[in-house]
Amino acid sequence: MANNRQYRRKMHQKVDSMPTSFSGEFGKIIKILIVIVIFFVIFYFLTVYILKKENLASITDNTPAAADIQYQEILAGTSFTKEDSHYLVLYYDMSDDNLKSLYTNMISTYEDDESHDPIYTVDMSSTFNKKYTSDKSNKNVEKLEDLKISGPTLIEFEDGEVTEYIEGEDAIREHLAA
C-alpha cells in the first residue's frame, strides 16, 4: 500500500506540474484579443482626431442668406410697361465701375429729394439688354422695338410713353438735379 500511495503521490505531482494545453491557449487568445482591442481603440481615436481637425478647417456656413430683392434694376424690355404713371429709366453700362459709381451717386442724390419720381436702372452690359445697344441712338422712341441706346441715357416716361430723351453725363446730372 505504501507503494501504491507513493505511486499516487508521484502521479499527482506529475499532473500538477504538467502544463495543460487549455490554459496556455486560452491565455494566448486573451492576449491577442487585448492587442486587437487596443489597436482598434487607438485607430478610432486617431481617426476622430484627424476628422475633427479637417472639419474645423473646412467648416463653411451653408445657411442660405436672405434674398436681396431690389426693384430698381430692370431689363430694357420692361421699360415701357412699368406700373408707375410717371417714372425715369437710366440706361448705362454697369460693368464700368467708374460709371456705376457716378450714376449710383447721382441716383441716390436724386432720391434724397422727397418729391422724386421713381427711377429705374438698366444694365446695358447684360446679355439680356444687348439687342437694345447700338452705335447710333434713336431719340424718337415710340415703342420698345425702336429703343436703341448708344451711351448713358435717361428716358422719362409718362403712362408708358417717352416724354423726354436725355443723353450724356452732364445732361443727365442736370435733369436729375432739377
pTM of the model as a whole: 0.60
CB neighbours of 58 closer than 8 A, spacing ≥ 6?
none
Per-residue model confidence as pLDDT tens digits over 4-62? 677 666 666 655 555 555 567 778 888 899 999 999 999 898 888 887 766 655 566 66
What CATH homologous superfamily does 73-177 map to?
A: Glutaredoxin (3.40.30.10)
Task: Residue count of the chain, please give it.
Answer: 178
Read off the pLDDT of residues 104-135 as tens digits, 9 standing for 90 and up: 888 888 888 888 889 999 998 889 989 999 89
Residue with cell 475633427: 52
Residues 6+ apart with CB under 8 A from 101: none
Per-residue pLDDT tens over the stretch 49-104 = 887 766 655 566 667 766 655 668 888 888 888 888 899 999 998 888 888 888 88
3-state SS class at 91: strand
pLDDT of residue 57: 56
pLDDT at position 52: 77
Dist CA 166 CA 158 (whole Å)? 15
Q: Would you state the pLDDT for residue 11? A: 65
HEC profile for 125-175? CCHHHHHHECCCCCCCCCCHHHCCECCCEEEEEECCEEEEEEECHHHHHHH
